């Protein structure tokens, strides 16, 4: 459903949030290891997230990536998805057709339209704080 970039980005932001909640900044190396992602690929994803002001980056010996605690309830999963994948998940055809619309629907158009609406609602109503709390409590996991 999401691109590999977006999957890694969501995992990275959740991991950074958990560490930031504990007062820690995290290195690129530890993020890549924690989410099972290649370092160079992770670096590009993190740059995009910094550019979109979803995470912060501090340079230097005590540097790393962080998220301000007070922003965690405000950051929505939809913001992360939009920053990395754009809005294609909300507009794309369920079968990947270029021209799929109400006037020219694919065979799954009308059923997929409801799924897209439900997905949008879930992404817009899920906060970073909520996702990071599940990880902190051991109820959810970033890797197997």
Rounded distance, CA 4 to CA 119, Å? 18
Q: Give the tens place of pLDDT for each residue, 88-100.
A: 888 888 898 988 8
Three-state secondary structure call for residue 65: strand
User: Which position has the token pair 């560490």?
Assistant: 19
User: Which position has the token pair 């990071």?
Assistant: 132
Q: Give the tens place of pLDDT for each residue, 27-49.
A: 999 999 999 999 999 999 999 99
Strand pairing class (56-58; 64-66): antiparallel
The sign one gets for the Cα dihedral 137, 51, 79, 96 is negative
Among 29, 60, 61, which residue's Cα sits nearest to residue 46? 29
């Amino acid at each position: 459903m999401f691109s590999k970039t977006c999957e890694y980005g969501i995992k990275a932001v959740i991991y950074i949030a958990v560490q930031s909640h504990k007062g820690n900044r995290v290195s690129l190396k530890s993020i890549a290891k924690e989410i099972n992602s290649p370092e160079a690929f992770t670096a590009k994803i993190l740059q995009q997230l910094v550019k979109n002001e979803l995470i912060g980056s501090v340079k230097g010996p005590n540097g790393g990536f962080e998220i301000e605690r007070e922003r965690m309830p405000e950051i929505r999963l939809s913001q992360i998805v939009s920053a990395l994948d754009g809005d294609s998940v909300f507009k794309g055809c369920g079968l990947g057709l270029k021209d799929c619309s109400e006037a020219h629907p694919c065979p799954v158009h009308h059923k997929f339209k409801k799924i897209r609406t439900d997905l949008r609602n879930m992404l817009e109503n899920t906060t970073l704080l909520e996702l990071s709390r599940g990880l902190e409590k051991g109820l959810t996991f970033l890797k197997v």
